[in-house]
């Protein structure tokens, strides 16, 4: 029983960690050509080019009729699991807490949530989940990312966006514009 509780706790801990992994992956691999140019091209140039921050965000693209440029390649999940296996095992070995299976399950669950939610965001079909308050928040959060790729790097759990100060909302955007408008008005008067 205790092992199951440790594994469950590990699941939640590693799922929360997933927010930071997603943020780093998104910022440094999806939006920077510095490390893997093919990944940058597929996401920043192709995906953001087809699905912009305007009406194209959730409209079927004639250049992407099957949504191929929404989801990652088939080998992404096995790679994420292989990447995290030594890390999760190392934490289990160092702490003595049975957490390997809970950790691997969390990485897989986070990835599957990312792919599912991201697909539904860009290919809406009036599904029940699309009408939920949480999904509407996440969808708008991601739409703002497509308007400004340096913000809202999380899709599933914007906890890292909040702590790393990349979280933006519509109300924040409006609030940030007021000082800019005021400064411009003062410049025009001078």
Interval 50-66: pLDDT, tens: 899 888 898 877 788 77
Instruction: Provide the pLDDT for residue 173.
Output: 55
pLDDT of residue 166 exceeding 70, the answer is yes
Rounded to 5 degrees, φ, ψ at 102 are -65, -40
- What value does the mean pLDDT take over residues 128-138? 96
Please check whether residue 12 is in contact with residue 108, taking contact to mean a CB–CB distance below 8 angstroms: no
pLDDT of residue 182 exceeding 60, the answer is no
Cα distance between residue 150 and residue 153, in whole Å: 7
pLDDT of residue 72 exceeding 50, the answer is yes
Please give the model's pTM, rounded to 2 decimal places: 0.86
Of the candidate ranges 25-34, 118-127, 168-177, the one whose mean pLDDT is the lowest = 168-177
Which residues have CB under 8 Å from 151's CB, separation 6+?
144, 145, 161, 166, 167, 168
Cα distance between residue 133 and residue 129, in whole Å: 9
DSSP 54: S
Q: Which domain holds residue 130?
A: 2-189
Instruction: Provide the pLDDT for residue 85.
Output: 98
- pLDDT category at 190 given cuts 50, 70, 90 is low
- pLDDT category at 180 given cuts 50, 70, 90 is very low
Instruction: Provide the pLDDT for residue 183.
Output: 47
pLDDT of residue 187 exceeding 80, the answer is no
| Tally of domains in the chain | 1
pLDDT of residue 104 exceeding 50, the answer is yes
Instruction: Provide the pLDDT for residue 65.
Output: 76
pLDDT of residue 138 exceeding 80, the answer is yes
- pLDDT category at 67 given cuts 50, 70, 90 is confident
Instruction: Provide the pLDDT for residue 6.
Output: 94
């Amino acid at each position: 029983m205790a092992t199951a509780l440790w594994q469950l706790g590990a699941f939640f801990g590693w799922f929360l960690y997933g927010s930071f992994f997603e943020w780093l992956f998104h910022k440094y691999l999806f939006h920077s050509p510095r490390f893997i140019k093919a990944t940058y091209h597929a996401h920043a140039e192709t995906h953001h080019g087809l699905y912009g921050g305007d009406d194209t965000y959730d409209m079927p693209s004639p250049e992407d009729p099957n949504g191929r440029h929404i989801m990652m390649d088939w080998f992404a999940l096995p790679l994420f699991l292989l990447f995290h296996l030594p890390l999760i095992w190392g934490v289990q070995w160092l702490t003595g807490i049975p957490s390997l299976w809970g950790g691997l399950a969390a990485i897989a669950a986070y990835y599957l949530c990312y792919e599912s939610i991201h697909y539904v965001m860009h290919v809406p079909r009036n599904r029940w989940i699309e009408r939920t308050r949480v999904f509407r928040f996440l969808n708008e959060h991601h739409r703002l990312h497509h308007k400004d790729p340096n913000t809202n790097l999380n899709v599933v759990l914007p906890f890292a966006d909040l702590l790393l100060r990349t979280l933006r909302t519509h109300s924040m955007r409006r609030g940030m514009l007021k000082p800019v408008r005021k400064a411009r008005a003062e410049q025009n008067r001078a």
